Amino acid sequence: MRRVDPVKLEIFKNLFYAVAEEMGAALRRTAFSPNIKERRDYSCAVFDGQGEVIAMGDHMPVHLGSMPLSVAAAIDALQLEEGDIALLNDPFAGGTHLPDLTLVMPVFVRGTRKPSFYVASRAHHADVGGAQPGSMGLSRDIYQEGLRIPPVKMAERGRLRSDVLRLILANVRTPVEREGDLTAQVAACRLGARRLKEMVGRYGAAEVRAYMKHLLDYSARMMRATLLTIPPGTYTAEDFLDDDGITPDPVRIRVRISLRGGKARVDFSGSSPQTAGSVNAVRAITVSAVFYVFRCLVPGETPATAGLLRPIEVATPRRSVVDAQPPAAVAAGNVETSQRIVDTLLRALARAIPERIPAASQGTMNNFTVGGIAPDGQPFAYYETIAGGMGARATADGLDGIHTHMTNSLNTPVEVLESFYPLRVRRYRLRPGSGGRGRHRGGDGIVREIELLTDAQLAILADRRRFRPYGLAGGQPGKPGETRLISRGKVTRLPGKCTVNARAGDVISISTPGGGGWGKPRNRKRG
């Protein structure tokens, strides 16, 4: 076996990481929509010739952990040649939910018949058709949620396929914005391919190939070493989504983590069957949440590669809320159920390593979508997630007003929101006292109020309105979230998941949950 030079290993880790980060920077700079340019709802990654991820940008965890399944789906479905780019969003073929469009590009180096690498970019598009503007409203099946795209070639031999692009743009409400965002993803992939070819030109194909394998092996060793530091045993937990938006019944997430000999088995048996509403998560989402949680346990310098999952087995019962099958609706599975899966995994691990696990963060992305016809007669669609409280830790308070866990997005600045859309932000502040009390208190949530300047349809997909973010070690739970519609002086409290036809002058007020506290409140130091 070829000797591994630790200095070179670190160099190649950072080289591959830099490619993914530069891809993300190019995508952000060239995209059209505030959702990508400002909120940064995108992700980029680099894969080896077998489709195993070898580097990820510091982007969206819910995207990154599931993206390998999209790459695998593209490789299985298509014969990708030099200059080709695959496009897909099908949740049942490696995708997450329909607004997340993924591009996959093979990278060939001179003298090879098969790809030496793949690069991929994924971005949340503010509308992909469907029954409601923004493609994120209440739905009962996948067909209501928008345009479902199996792996197809968007570019062939270096040229974009105009027929595929026309088909997509004919089925969305904001075609100019969609075309701009898609072509920005194309540019990101081409940039990544160019950088990888430059790397091979500098170091040689044999050395680059060898260190890709070394990075995968190193990540696996680091994960096994980390698992050995956790007391062996079986740790269980369960948590609940408030409902699925269609029925009032809670939706259970149950997990059983078995740790032994540097390996882990994560079993979701006992979780609720897939639901009538859109909180269903496909297996890719569940695996992504497992990847995220266990990645948080390894040292920060560990490469984020597919090797991290080698010692971890994930079992998901088919046709359950954590492994949904067609024709299940899945829009909220990506954004809400992913968060609850993380909460449940952390709750189980808190039984094994209590000092290392934080209390529950807000546990929802507070998805807000609005769309209609702007005063200039053009359709518009806007989507955002809203921050909340972070759970307290054994050593410190939780942070206020921050995106946590499966989302890593930013807020849309008020000035950008008001300049792009017929909306006005009336209030945007922290929600004092919403974090749970404890020796260390949970972070506070946010209050965001937006006035409509035209008639529009609103959609809310949110959770933790009923089941509060839990505290740990005697800490108290955070306050639940709340959504209100203020119309002509009348205040109506809305369900966590709903669609509303609103009028110009109406105000939507979203108060997000606080994080849970850690430790008993009486032990909190004063001052």
For the stretch 396-412, pLDDT in tens is 999 999 999 998 888 99
Nearest to 519 by CA among 441, 443, 467: 441
Please check the confidence at residue 469 and state whether its pLDDT lies above 60.
yes
Collapsing DSSP to helix, strand or coil, 447 comes out as strand
Interatomic CA distance for residues 33 and 27, integer angstroms: 11
pLDDT digits (tens, 9 = 90+) for 253-304: 999 999 999 999 999 999 999 999 999 999 999 999 999 999 999 998 999 9
CB 157, CB 84: distance < 8 Å: yes
Spatial CB neighbours of 436, under 8 Å, sequence gap ≥ 6:
359, 392, 442, 468, 469, 471, 475, 476, 477, 478, 479, 514, 515, 516, 517
pLDDT band at 527 (very low <50, low <70, confident <90, very high): low
**What is the pTM assigned to this prediction?**
0.96
Query: What tokens appear for 55 in the block?
Result: 């580097």
Contact 62, 288 (CB under 8 A): yes
First to last CA, the chain: 58
Q: Could you give the CA distance from residue 406 to residue 463 in angstroms, rounded to a whole number?
A: 14
Query: Which whole number is the average pLDDT over 472-490?
Result: 97
The predicted structure's pLDDT at residue 57: 85
Helix (H, G, I), strand (E, B) or coil at 229: coil
Instruction: Taking residues 478-482, report their average pLDDT.
Output: 98
Q: Return mean pLDDT, the chain.
A: 96
pLDDT tens per residue, range 328-345:
999 999 999 999 999 999
Could you tell me the residue ranges of all domains in the chain? 6-219, 358-527
| Residue 1, pLDDT above cutoff 50 | no
Q: Which of 1-15, 40-54, 66-80, 123-137 has the lowest mean pLDDT?
A: 1-15
pLDDT tens-digit series, residues 189-237:
999 999 999 999 999 999 999 999 999 999 999 999 999 999 999 999 9
CB atoms within 10 A of CB 492: 11
Q: In what order do the strands lie in the sheet with 312-315?
A: 233-241, 251-260, 263-267, 312-315
CA dist 205 → 84, 194, 314, 455 (Å): 21, 14, 34, 58
DSSP 264: E
Per the DSSP assignment, residues forming a β-bridge with 117 are 48, 107
The H-assigned helical ranges of 377-430 are: 414-420
Residue 449's pLDDT band (cuts 50, 70, 90): very high
Write out pLDDT tens, residues 304-325: 999 999 999 999 999 999 999 9
Choose among 435, 258, 474: nearest CA to 354.
474
Average of pLDDT values for 473-477?
98
Paired tokens of 135: 């493609």
